[in-house]
Structure 1
Amino acid sequence: MALTLALLAAVDPPAPRASVPPQISGSDARPDMASVLRRCRTVTTADPECGAAWEAKRRHFFGQEEDTK
C-alpha cells in the first residue's frame, strides 16, 4: 500500500499553488498621510483634516478599509 501511494505521488504532477498576492509599492501608498499624522500629533484644537486622517488610520489598523478604486 505504501509503495502504491509513493508511486502515485511520484507520477502525478503537483497541484498548482495559489498565486502570491501583489505587494504594495511605494507609489500605491498615500505619501502625505505620514506627514499629516505627524502634524496632527501636536494639534490641540479640532482639525477636520486630522480627524479624517486618524479615522482612516483606525480603519486601516482594524482592517475595515474599503476599496475605493
Structure 2
Amino acid sequence: MLHATSRTARIAGVAALAGLMMTVAILSALHQPEAAPPTSVAGPGDAHLDRLARELDRCATLIMPDSGCEAAWAENRRRFFRQPAPAADGDRGSTGPAENTAP
C-alpha cells in the first residue's frame, strides 16, 4: 500500500510542476516588453559616419574598382580595429630618413 501512495504523490508532483510551467509560459507570452528608448552609439562625428555609411552602401553595388570605395573600406577597417587615424600628407615627409643639411 505504501507503494501506491508514493506513486500518487509523484503524479501529483509532476502535475503541479507542469501546471507551474504552463502558467509561466502563458504569462511570458502575454507580457508586452517595454520599448527601450533609442540610443545613439556614435558621438560628435555623426556626420562623418553618415557619409561613410552612404559611401559604403554605394560601394556595395559597384562591380568595378573605385578609389573612393577603397578609401571608404580602409576607413571602415581602421574604425573597426580601433586604429589611430593616419598622419596627414604634410607629416609624411618628416618620417623619412634624415637629410644631411651640412654644406
Q: Please give the TM-score of this superposition, normalised by the length of structure 2.
A: 0.38
Alignment deviations for residues 7-59 of structure 1 (CA, whole Å, 9 cap, x no partner): xxxxxxxxxxxxxxxx713xx22031111100000110010000000000001
Residue number among 28, 35, 56 corresponding to 1:37 in the alignment: 56
What is the CA–CA distance in structure 2 between the aligned matches of 1:55 and 1:46, rounded to whole Å? 14
Identity %: 34
Query: Could you tell me how far apart the structure 2 residues matched to 1:24 and 1:62 are?
Result: 17
Residues paired across the two proteins, number: 44
**Alignment map for 1:1-69 (pairs within 5 Å):** 24-25=43-44, 28-29=45-46, 30=48, 31-66=50-85
What are the ranges of 5 or more consecutive residues in structure 2 without an aligned counterpart?
1-41, 88-103
Q: Which has the higher helix share?
A: 2
Instruction: Measure, in 2, the Cα distance between the counterparts of 1:35 and 1:53.
Output: 10
Over aligned residue pairs, what C-alpha RMSD do you find? 2.1
Q: What amino acid sits opposite 2:85 in the alignment? A: E
Give the gaps of 5 or more residues in structure 1. Answer: 1-22
Q: CA deviation at 1:65?
A: 3.1
How far apart in 1 are the matches of 2:74 and 2:86?
A: 15
User: Equivalents in 2 of 1:64, 1:57: separation in Å?
Assistant: 10
Q: TM-score, normalised by structure 1?
A: 0.54
Q: Which has the larger radius of gyration?
A: 2
